[in-house]
Every structure is written in C-alpha cells, then in structure tokens.
Amino acid sequence: PGVFHTAPYQQTHQFLQQQGFPIGYDTFVATFTTISDALEAQAKRTGNEYHMDDVGRGFFQAAFATEVADQIVHPFIAHFIAEWSRGIVYLEALAPALAQLATHYRLSIVSNTHYPALIHDHLAAMGIGSYFAQIVTSVEVGIRKPHTAIFQRALVDLQIAPHQAIYVGDTYIDHYQGATAANIRCVLI
C-alpha cells in the first residue's frame, strides 16, 4: 500500500519530463509495459535474453518515434530499476548462512535478469557479494534458464563437472528442469 502501489514509477516519469519528453504518467506506464511484455514474450519463445536498455530504446521509439542516446537510455532505465527495487527485502539471516556455506562450498549465482547491475548492486548492499565465486546472468550469456547453456557456462567458469554441482532453485521449469537437463542435481525449494 502507499505511493509505490498507486504510482510506483513517479521518479522515472519525472526524469522523462526533465529530459524534454512530455508524456502522461498512464501513457508512460502503458507504453513501457507494452514494450517490456513484447520483449518478454519473444524471450520466452526463443530463450534469448534481452537487456533493459532494449526496453528503454523500444519505449522511446514507441512513445516518441525517436532513437535516443545512451546518455538518456541508461539513466532512464537506472531510475526505473531503482524504483522497481524498492520492494526488495534484505534478510538479515542470509549473510551468516552464506558465510557458513562459503566455508565448505564455492557458491555461484545463475540468474535470469535483464539488468546485471541489479544483481551485483543488491549483493553489495546486502554485504554478501564476496561469498560468491561467480555470478552468471542470462543477459551476459545471451540465453536464459531453463536453457542448458546458461548452466553449462556456470560449470565451465567454475571448472567443474555437472556431478560436482548442486543447484538450488525455486521454480520447476526454469530451475529444476533446466539444471537437471544440464545433468546437475537440483534441490527445488
């Protein structure tokens, strides 16, 4: 409840206004959502990941019939991500649990994400980034889970065989089926 629920992207909308792109809030949200949904549907069909900058460029093309420079797209998307992230909750018990696991195992993150900085920034804010030997993101690999290529990339980077890894995930298709298709044992939570 509150401001985030009723108008979650006010600062992103204000950024557009300040940069000389007049657009109503509801039109901004509807256009952004349309572009994002189209890219998401395409990614689900192909398995190829897209970057949030693609959403930004598509938005400016759809809303204003113009291409804009990275100096506009990057902060536009950064504002959006910052506002989207306000709902993320950091769990205090996570750091000690990861610290204990990291004394016995090499930890890795394999994440479907359209914005790699999101993962790195939140790990840093939680003070847990140092516990991970690697972070493999779908946008950097170009392929998203459940495709085996993203899991295989993690294994290659860790220089281990599939039987030496355990993947812990929370979705059946992307995590369980993806990891097991790559011959990695998976624990589904």
Three-state SS sequence of 55-70:
HHHHHHHHHHCCCCCH
Residue type, 150: I
On the question of pLDDT at 1 being above 80, the answer is no
pLDDT tens per residue, range 8-17 = 899 999 999 9
How many angstroms separate the CA atoms of 90 and 76, rounded? 25
Confidence of residue 6 (pLDDT cuts 50, 70, 90): low
Average pLDDT over residues 126-149: 95
Average pLDDT over residues 26-55: 95
Strand partners, 121: none
Average pLDDT over residues 107-122: 94
Measured in whole angstroms, the distance separating CA 161 from the mean position of its chain's CA atoms is 26
The pLDDT score that the predictor gives to residue 88 is: 84
On the question of pLDDT at 3 being above 80, the answer is no
The pLDDT score that the predictor gives to residue 89 is: 85
Average pLDDT over residues 107-127: 94
Average pLDDT over residues 108-133: 94
pLDDT tens per residue, range 63-89 = 999 999 999 999 999 999 999 888 788
pLDDT tens per residue, range 30-40 = 999 999 999 99
Count Cβ atoms below 10 Å from residue 86 Cβ, excluding itself.
9
On the question of pLDDT at 101 being above 80, the answer is yes
> pTM here?
0.87
